[in-house]
């Protein structure tokens, strides 16, 4: 993640949300770049045909969504309640798009990162979330000078 996208208060909120989750789901590249052996992780990767423990992190399970549905993985992990936090990358965000009941979108308005990795493959996150039935609700302005916001998008019940 480019440092221009990171804001201390927003980062603390993000880390606290991950700490509170029953499971964190992220892509293989993010898992390898940001090891975090203290959290239970489900690592999305095409490199396995069945859920496989990560030999470098006893709390992480490598998972190919084409080989086993999420519901079976959650059953195998004995996760019946709690938050499943989806931390990205693009393919992971895309995969879970129809399942989100809430998505927290943090933005540094006016910042352009040429050649950057998009949040969703289908366009700007605000557009993609709206097209998929989520609506903006609570918003926090973290830094007026830097125009850093965090908006909770929710799926209406």
Contact, 75 vs 84, CB < 8 A?
no
Confidence of residue 77 (pLDDT cuts 50, 70, 90): very high
User: pTM for the whole thing?
Assistant: 0.92
For the segment 3-60, what is each residue's pLDDT rounded down to a tens digit?
888 899 999 999 999 999 999 999 999 999 888 878 999 999 999 999 999 999 999 9
Please check the confidence at residue 88 and state whether its pLDDT lies above 80: yes
What is the rounded distance in angstroms from the CA atom of residue 35 to the CA atom of residue 147? 29
Q: What is the pLDDT of residue 1?
A: 72
What is the rounded distance in angstroms from the CA atom of residue 121 to the CA atom of residue 112? 16
């Amino acid at each position: 993640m480019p440092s221009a996208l990171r804001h201390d208060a927003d980062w603390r909120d993000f880390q606290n949300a991950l700490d509170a989750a029953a499971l964190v789901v992220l892509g293989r590249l993010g898992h390898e770049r940001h090891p975090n052996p203290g959290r239970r992780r489900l690592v999305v990767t095409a490199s396995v045909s069945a859920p496989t423990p990560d030999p470098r992190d006893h709390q992480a399970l490598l998972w190919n969504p084409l080989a086993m549905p999420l519901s079976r993985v959650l059953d195998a992990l004995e996760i019946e309640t709690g938050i499943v936090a989806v931390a990205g990358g693009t393919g992971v965000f895309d995969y879970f798009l129809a399942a989100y009941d809430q998505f927290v979108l943090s933005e540094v308005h006016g910042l352009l990162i040429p050649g950057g990795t998009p949040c969703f493959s289908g366009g700007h996150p605000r557009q993609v979330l709206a097209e998929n039935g989520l609506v903006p609700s609570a918003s926090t302005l973290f830094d007026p000078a830097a125009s850093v916001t965090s908006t909770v998008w929710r799926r209406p019940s």
